[in-house]
Amino acid sequence: MILAASAMLPGAAQAQGTAAPLIIAHRGASGERPEHTLAAYDRAIDAGADFVEPDLVVTADGVLVARHENEIGSTTDVADHPEFVARRTTKVIDGVELTGWFAEDFTLAELRTLRARERIPQLRPANARFDGLYQIPTLAEIIALVRAREAETGRTIGLVPEIKHPGFLLTQGHDIAALAAAELAGAGYSDADDAALIQCFEVGPIARLDGLTGLRLVQLVSASGAPADRPDRPYAAMLTPEGLAEVARHADVLGAELSLLLQPDGTPAPLVAAAHEAGLAVHGWTLRRENQFLPTALRRGDDPAAAGNLAALWAMLAAAGVDAVFTDNPAEALAARR
């Protein structure tokens, strides 16, 4: 029988008195397959991940698709398509000038002609073996995969989509927050007990989503900077007791960078307890095995692409009381959890 969704939502581990954070496959098993491909999500499900995380952008014809950014030049072979040379352009997105190709300038049919590529081949050369094999998936296809694998495995597999650049995309005519809420509702994800959450770094969209869906909402925060829609409100101000109380008015979960959750010596930082006190569950992002992404003390050797001590960092996060952890390496995270 499929596990009741409410029993495996982030936050449930703490409520049940365990120290085992739930595992969210960050863009799928992106340490083993090119990110945001059906192959990466399927690999994560095979490993036993509790949730998969698709980042959502939108096509010119209003279809939600999975890419880490709306700029697709670094994760597809679009530059190799002469028919799209003229689509290369420069945009200012959240205050940053970017030149490339953007998903919102392509129809879904046009995106279907592209193939995914590994985003960081210098660190993950094994993933580059799969370049050219996979299409950009739609949210509908990811949901269909999850539903099929739930039927096959008999377990609940959750979704944690992140809406990307909603303020910018609204200026382009796309209300990605409303699109995501509507599509998830149409697929049966609409209540707090359903195995889906929506997350965003911007503040306004989380407040809007609080009125558009009954799903649990995740306010993402970084160790530096400020939300694109609130440059006057640094993330640091959102992490004070007063700031956390304000976040909790609309969000159910705080999704925080790992450096905010641990002290430099690996002991728990005060933020986890403070967020729990405010009524927020805590997600940590992102656990990766490569030395480049690990604290110096947990690295093995000098090669930035070599595998360091992921298990030790997992143990620190579990000891800190984190409710769920995003990871590019769900199989290794599952082994550490066991």
The SS3 assignment for 64 reads strand
Looking at residue 15, what is its pLDDT?
37
Q: What is the pLDDT of residues 239-282, one digit of tens each?
A: 999 999 999 999 999 999 999 999 999 999 999 999 999 999 99
pLDDT mean over 86-97: 96
Max Cα–Cα distance, the chain, nearest Å? 57
What is the pLDDT of the chain when averaged over all its residues?
Answer: 94
Domain ranges of the chain: 5-70+135-337
Cβ distance 254 to 221 under 8 Å?
yes
- Does the pLDDT at position 11 exceed 70? no
- Residue 122: Cβ within 10 Å count: 10
> Do residues 168 and 162 lie in contact, with contact meaning Cβ atoms separated by under 8 Å?
no
Domain 5-70+135-337's class?
alpha beta
Res 8: pLDDT: 52
pTM score over 0.85: yes
Q: Could you give the CA distance from residue 328 to residue 27 in angstroms, rounded to a whole number?
A: 7
Q: How confident is the model at residue 20 (pLDDT cuts 50, 70, 90)?
A: confident
Segment 145-155 mean pLDDT = 98
Q: Residue 138 has which token pair? A: 């739609």
pLDDT of residue 9: 58
For range 306-317, the mean pLDDT? 97
Angle separating helix axes 204-212 and 176-186, nearest 10 degrees: 30
